[in-house]
Amino acid sequence: MPTTVSPLAPKSYPDMPEIEGVQFATASAGIKYKGRTDVLLATVCEGTSVAGVFTRSKCSSAPVDWCKARVGDGRARALLVNSGNANAFTGKKGKAAVELSAQIVSGALGCGDAEIFLASTGVIGEPLRAEKFADVVEDLKKDQGSADWLDAARAIMTTDTYPKVATASVDLDGESVSINGIAKGAGMIAPDMATMLSFIFTDAAIAPDVLQALLSAETGRSFNAVTVDSDTSTSDTVLLFATGTAGARGIAPVASLDDPRVDTLRAALGDVMLDLAHQIVRDGEGARKFVEIRVEGAESDTSAKKIALSIANSPLVKTAVAGEDANWGRVVMAVGKAGEPADRDRLAIWFGDIRVAVDGERDPDYSEEAASAVMKEEDIVIQVDLGLGAGQATVWTCDLTKEYVEINGDYRS
């Protein structure tokens, strides 16, 4: 486990408001780590809606399979998360382990198995000894409410160097509702699906189908717009719980996407998701730079996003950023290899505010000194205008450093 916190870590954490109906407890079950919490039990009150997005990996983990089969019902009572073992590629043993995990929790809480959601993160291929949850479940039940949001976020960390939380509040019917989220992730982070683990809670009353639509809509511009290393996990899971406890304050349930309050909710949810997604990039394994990549002038938004990801995932672009080298030729390379419509001779590229290339060649006013100054910043914007159409996209990534290689050369040992 890393011993030093990422230099890109948030300097402070927000005050997380209480979400009525949500309670946490954490425990040390000794799944893999010693001397730290590795299990989180979140309970949610009766009537809680749930929505989820999951990895599109063909080798998805047993807990992902479990959640996907149950999230359609839209009802939840508890979430059990462990770190240290992903319960992925564990065959029949993995299926048995999720079933046992759910039974342990449902037995303790007195609810149905189908309302228990599960997530696991850590090593792939190692059988998960779910019986360890039985050792701690009574304590977890007794301690419900004893852990705060940071404690919860800490219990699900693996190679993360800091816990990740975010919050937003919105006014509905003249009353405030909150959206709180936690997340983990630092490596095996790639877009094109719901990435890593994140759990988001709101006290608003939102029907399951509306909740799912909101979550799916906001995933594209947040979790699916970040990449650390282009490698997509077997375990990626985002779950969004709506307890509906705000109803006691006279806030009417959101029952349809036509509800005029949906836009406000969606924007706030999106902000929380984007905040958490950025925190994952800022904790990217070995990261020293946070890079925003804006592509505009593409033939479509989809095309812009593919090009942006081609830049964000390029080892040569990422190592140039690590070396503080204003090597815009590698950005050209990454645009060219994306396979999307591009006209070399219309391309323009900026590092920060400095235009380094225009009309298919180096900017006539190019200053190596000015471009290099941008690269020395901690947060760097790389902007590309393709000059073809109105398509645009923004994605975020980090640099590729020797520390990434070091961390991943001996993660298991």
Segment 213 to 232, residues that bind a copy of itself, using CB under 8 A:
229-232
Pick the closer one to a copy of itself by CB: 233 or 243. 233
Residue among 376 and 402 whose Cβ is closer to a copy of itself: 402
* Residue among 241, 284, 261 at smallest CA distance from 400: 284
Kindly state whether residue 327 participates in binding a copy of itself, applying the rule CB under 8 A.
yes
**Under 8 Å CB-to-CB from 24, ≥6 apart: which residues?**
40, 41, 42, 144, 145, 146, 147, 148, 149, 151, 152
**Which residue stretch of 238-246, 258-266, 276-284, 316-324 sits at the interface with a copy of itself (rule: CB under 8 A)?**
316-324
The end-to-end CA distance of the chain, in Å, is 10
Residue nearer to a copy of itself on the CB measure, 394 or 408? 408
Binding residue for a copy of itself, selected from 10, 30, 220, 336, defined by CB under 8 A: 336
Distance (Å, rounded) from C-alpha 2 to C-alpha 346? 44
Q: Which is nearer to a copy of itself, 212 or 232 (CB)?
A: 232
Q: Any contact of residue 88 with a copy of itself (CB under 8 A)?
A: yes
Residues 308, 230: contact at Cβ < 8 Å?
A: no
Q: Are 275 and 227 in contact (CB under 8 A)?
A: no
Kindly state whether residue 7 participates in binding a copy of itself, applying the rule CB under 8 A. Answer: no
Q: Is 58 annotated as a binding residue?
A: no
218 is in an annotated binding site: no
306 is in an annotated binding site: no
Active-site pick, 161, 195, 227, 397: 195
Distance CA 269, CA 266 (A): 5
Stretch that binds a copy of itself, among 150-158, 206-214, 268-276, 329-337 (CB under 8 A): 329-337
- 21: region left, alpha or beta (phi > 0 left; psi from -120 to 50 alpha): left
The tokens for 376 are 């020395």
Query: Which residues, 177 to 196, sit near a copy of itself by CB under 8 A?
Result: 187-188, 190
Cβ contact 388:344 at 8 Å: no
Q: Residue 85, annotated ligand binder?
A: no
- Residue 18 burial (CB < 10 Å; 0-12/13-18/19+)? middle
**145 secondary structure, DSSP code:** T
Q: Does 47 bind a copy of itself (CB under 8 A)?
A: no
In degrees rounded to 5, what are phi and psi of residue 85? Answer: -155, 125
Residue 285 is assigned to a ligand binding site: yes
32, 68, 93, 129: which one binds a copy of itself (CB under 8 A)? 93
Verify binding: residue 343, a copy of itself, rule CB under 8 A.
yes
158 is in an annotated binding site: yes
- Is residue 195 flagged as an active site residue? yes
Question: Using CB under 8 A, which residues numbered 239 to 278 contact a copy of itself?
Answer: none
Least separation in angstroms between residue 379's CB and a copy of itself is 19
Q: Which residues are annotated as a binding site for substrate?
A: 158, 184, 195, 285, 408, 413
User: Which active-site residues does the annotation give?
Assistant: 195
